[in-house]
Amino acid sequence: MKLGVVFPQTEISADPGAVRAYAETADALGYDYLLAYDHVLGANPHRPGGWAGRPYDYQDMFHEIFVLFGYLAGITERLQLVSGIVIAPQRQTALLAKQAAAIDVLSGGRLILGLGIGWNEVEYEALGMNFHDRGRRVEEQVELMRALWTERLVDFQGQYHRIPDAGLHPLPLQRPIPIWFGGGAERALRRMARIGDGWLATGMDLADLRDKLARLRGFLSEAGREEAEFGVEMRFNLGAVARGAWAERVTTLRAMGATMVSCDTMNMGLVHPDEHIATIRAFYEEVSAGADG
């Protein structure tokens, strides 16, 4: 099982030195991957129509994910870079495929492209994309990107895309780049069981995780796929589990079927990047000690 960190997007600050120190520490400690979220714009919560119940607004900071990964590719040596998740249908597919291929090349084949369809209608509108057909479009996006990553020339005609005999250069090192999906709704679980390489599970308690895992396994069986070939990434907020019980939670998630587990240090009241760094160090030391024991 791989151990990772959730990049503290909203709290790390815009200081490139802090970003570098965090990533280099995670890499040096021995973490296997770094997972980062994706948002392009934040809305004004006082806008007409309201914004109640939405997790982020314009006051929450997000580094652009592919620029961030390009920076991290050059300053880390072993960390896999996991997007958790890129909102694919609000992006141009050929450009998304190009960006992912570039990150994969520059990182030496360390990218896992996590995709989802998102919830932010304001972001879709601002980026000129249709919010209401996003589920259908993402499936065609996956088909097209895999073609672009594995074929020198692509002649593609779909419902939403047309590639007139053209291709990417350079191609990624991973051909194709692994595509994992976020989400927990039944439609999302069925989609990832059919066309995904793994599941990025988030925002669920243990009971909900167990229920959705059971359903996902059923959908994988229906699709004729082997569970052993499908990855499952789980994460938990360190503030929600008492220190001293972190290693036990990792063991629980691994026993449930997680192939990757990451720790999230946001919303813990940490006020300086150094505190995030100290916390991922403490987590790694506790989990490593538990594994040795």
User: pLDDT digits over 32-66, tens only?
Assistant: 999 999 999 999 998 888 787 788 999 999 999 99
Phi, psi dihedral angles at 238 (to 5 degrees): -65, -25
Q: Are 221 and 213 in contact (CB under 8 A)?
A: no
pLDDT at 292 (0 to 100)? 60
Fold of 2-292: TIM Barrel (3.20.20)
pLDDT at 2 (0 to 100)? 98
Nearest to 235 by CA among 214, 215, 263, 254: 263
The answer, yes or no, to whether residue 70 has pLDDT greater than 80, is yes
Q: How far apart are CA 275 and CA 203, in angstroms?
A: 23
State the average pLDDT over residues 231-259.
96
The answer, yes or no, to whether residue 139 has pLDDT greater than 90, is yes
Query: 150 is written with which tokens?
Result: 């594995």
State the average pLDDT over residues 56-83.
96
* Average pLDDT score over the chain: 95
Q: Are 147 and 82 in contact (CB under 8 A)?
A: no
State the average pLDDT over residues 2-27.
97
Q: How far apart are CA 14 and CA 4, in angstroms?
A: 22
Q: How far apart are CA 23 and CA 71, in angstroms?
A: 10
The answer, yes or no, to whether residue 293 has pLDDT greater than 70, is no
Q: How far apart are CA 267 and CA 248, in angstroms?
A: 21
pLDDT at 47 (0 to 100)? 86
Query: 168 is written with which tokens?
Result: 């990417």
The answer, yes or no, to whether residue 247 has pLDDT greater than 70, is yes
* Distance set, CA 128 to CA 62, 97, 144, 205 (Å): 20, 18, 20, 35
Report whether the peptide linkage leading into residue 273 is cis, meaning its omega lies within 30 degrees of zero. no
Secondary structure element (H or E) that encloses residue 2, with its range: strand 2-6
Q: How far apart are CA 128 and CA 79, in angstroms?
A: 34
Convert the pLDDT of each residue in 91-110 to its tens digit: 999 999 999 999 999 999 99
Length of the chain equals: 293
Q: Residue for token digits 């909900």?
A: 208
Q: How far apart are CA 206 and CA 217, in angstroms?
A: 16
pLDDT at 52 (0 to 100)? 79
pLDDT confidence tier of residue 68, bands split at 50, 70 and 90 = very high
Q: Are 192 and 181 in contact (CB under 8 A)?
A: yes
pLDDT at 85 (0 to 100)? 94
Convert the pLDDT of each residue in 155-188 to its tens digit: 999 999 999 999 999 999 999 999 999 999 999 9
State the average pLDDT over residues 244-265.
97
